[in-house]
């Protein structure tokens, strides 16, 4: 979904005109960017957190010449989703819980089958 479609959907739900919503979205993006520039994360409880991650210097290569190039460190914005949002994306289950559940299923598969008549393994 692009910014225009998002503005239209929000306008429809809130009763505001799309132009007003677009200006509010622009102000939101600008304020998040300003906060990140100053190193301050922007946290929405239950949704996620916009923050800045430091990437250390690394060695790359020029694909045309194969020459090794030293690349400087840099700061990049990133978004970390919170548990309720992850749960909405996974049918009500947080991905961390899902990962633990899959480990439990794997452990259960490794155990010998139970004899139905005796109840023993």
CB-CB contact of 17 with 11 (8 Å): yes
Check residue 119 and give its pLDDT. 57
Rounded to 10 degrees, the C-alpha dihedral 71/76/79/80 comes to 60
What value does the mean pLDDT take over residues 58-81?
94
CA–CA gap between residue 87 and residue 73 (Å, rounded)? 34
pLDDT score at 73: 96
Average pLDDT over residues 53-78: 94
Instruction: Compute CA 34 distance to the chain's CA centroid, rounded to the nearest angstrom.
Output: 20
Reference 39, options 51, 26, 57, 24; nearest CA is 51
pLDDT above 70 (res 1): yes
Check: CB of residue 80 under 8 Å from CB of residue 48.
yes
pLDDT of residue 92: 77
Residue with tokens 């009500």: 92
Per-residue model confidence (pLDDT) at position 103: 67
Position 45 confidence tier, pLDDT thresholds 50, 70, 90 = very high
The alpha-carbon radius of gyration of the chain (Å, integer) is: 24
Indicate the helix (H) or strand (E) that contains 29.
helix 18-37
């Amino acid at each position: 979904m692009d910014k225009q479609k998002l503005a239209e959907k929000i306008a429809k739900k809130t009763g505001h005109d799309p132009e007003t919503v677009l200006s509010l979205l622009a102000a939101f993006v600008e304020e998040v960017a300003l906060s990140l520039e100053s190193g301050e994360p922007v946290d929405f409880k239950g949704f996620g957190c916009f923050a800045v991650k430091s990437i250390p210097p690394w060695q790359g290569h020029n694909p045309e010449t194969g020459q090794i190039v030293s690349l400087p460190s840099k700061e990049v914005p990133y978004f970390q989703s919170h548990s309720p949002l992850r749960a909405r994306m996974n049918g009500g289950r947080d991905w961390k819980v899902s990962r633990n559940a899959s480990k439990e299923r794997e452990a259960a598969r490794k155990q010998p089958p139970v004899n139905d008549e005796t109840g023993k393994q």
